[in-house]
Structure 1
């Protein structure tokens, strides 16, 4: 088992799925998004934790829009549709934590 994993080893989406690394009970996306980038609207059966490290993002959580800057944590409630976009002028860097050994999500937009 690998104990040190580079970002590049996680593939194009930079997704760490715990089940691929000895059934580790956590998964995460290692996000580095340019201005205007972000995922489509989706939902999970569990909370998603967003650790914003650098930049600025606009989160849509259900019917709520929230502007967040670096050094903040956002909690996306279970079963609530959400997405984010890099709404800043520079790179957005964050870790999006999924409390399970694999990411489970349903896309709500094309």
Structure 2
């Protein structure tokens, strides 16, 4: 097959709205999360053995990367190197939508 398409499906009320995609399951070389968080939500501090790229689509996020903190807004793109502890949190008043691109065909994540 030359291509695959995964159609969006609305989550049930008891399901998280964040979508996890691992490329290896679909013939792809990257993995990603389509994050959809409420204010105050975000992952705990963690690391990956590869770089991660974030593209903020909606809302306001505070990113912690190593000892540094920065705010990001719609249209901003951030990149963190491999093995650097990082996290983000929705610090806005509305929903946060971020695309988290993992430079790996599978997601490898260790919480610290």
Common fold: TM-score over 0.5? yes
- How much does 1:3 deviate? 1.7
CA contact (8 A) 1:7 1:14 kept: no
Once the two structures are TM-superposed, the CA of residue 20 in structure 1 deviates from its matched residue by 0.7
Q: Which runs of 5+ in 1 are unaligned?
A: none
The runs of 5 or more residues in structure 2 that have no matched partner are none
SS in structure 2 of the partner of residue 19 of structure 1: helix
Runs of 4+ in 1 over 2 A off after TM superposition: 6-9
The structure 1 residue matched to 2:31, chosen from 10, 27, 32, is 27
Alignment TM-score, normalising by the size of structure 1: 0.89
**How many Å apart are 1:31 and its aligned residue?**
0.5
Match of 1:38 among 37, 42, 51: 42
For residues 8 and 31 of structure 2, what CA distance do their matches in structure 1 show? 14
Deviations along 1:38-95, whole A, 9 cap, x unmatched?
0010001111000001110000000001011111001112110000000000011111
Q: Does 1:106 align with 2:107?
A: no
**What is the CA distance between 1:7 and its match in structure 2?**
3.6
Q: Secondary structure at the match of 2:24?
A: helix
1:81 aligns with 2:85: yes
User: Is contact 1:50-1:74 (8 Å) kept?
Assistant: yes
Q: Which residue of 1 aligns with 2:21?
A: 16
What's the C-alpha RMSD, in Å, of the aligned pairs? Answer: 2.0
Contact 1:28-1:96 at 8 Å conserved across structures: yes
CA contact (8 A) 1:60 1:84 kept: yes
